């Protein structure tokens, strides 16, 4: 349990980096920048996302709370999957600008709901 504060700070930092990476990639998509297809940029985004997921897993183990058994974590996990899906749609190579805005907006909304649930430790839909 003594690792909890460190793990939490690490996780929050990685969550912030992931969201900033998402916003940057969204901008590149809307600007039709070649950076969206850049292999190093994509690998960096995937690495930060992987580290964020690993830090989330470490937090679950540290506090003994897990998705499926804790409704708020289950809801966060389901919303995370939806967030990833809409983010992927926003980055489709031939998506129209209007579609990118819609998908990115939905992803941002999902991210906000995930933050609310994380802060309150209370599910919004499954509770």
Express each pLDDT in 51-85 by its tens digit.
999 999 999 898 888 888 889 999 999 999 999 99
- Residue linked to tokens 């809307």: 30
Per-residue pLDDT at 116 exceeds 80: yes
- Domain locations in the chain as residue ranges: 4-120
* pTM metric for this prediction: 0.87
Rounded (5°) CA angle 46-30-97: 120
pLDDT of amino acid 1: 58
């Amino acid at each position: 349990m003594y690792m909890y504060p460190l793990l939490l700070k690490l996780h929050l930092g990685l969550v912030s980096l992931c969201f900033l990476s998402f916003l940057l990639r969204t901008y590149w998509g809307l600007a039709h920048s070649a950076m969206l297809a850049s292999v190093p940029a994509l690998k960096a985004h995937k690495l930060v996302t992987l580290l964020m997921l690993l830090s989330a897993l470490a937090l679950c183990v540290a506090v003994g709370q897990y998705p499926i058994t804790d409704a708020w974590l289950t809801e966060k996990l389901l919303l995370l999957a939806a967030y990833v899906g809409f983010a992927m749609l926003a980055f489709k190579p031939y998506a129209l600008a209007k579609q990118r805005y819609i998908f990115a907006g939905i992803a941002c909304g999902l991210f906000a709901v995930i933050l609310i649930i994380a802060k309150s430790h209370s599910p919004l839909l499954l509770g």
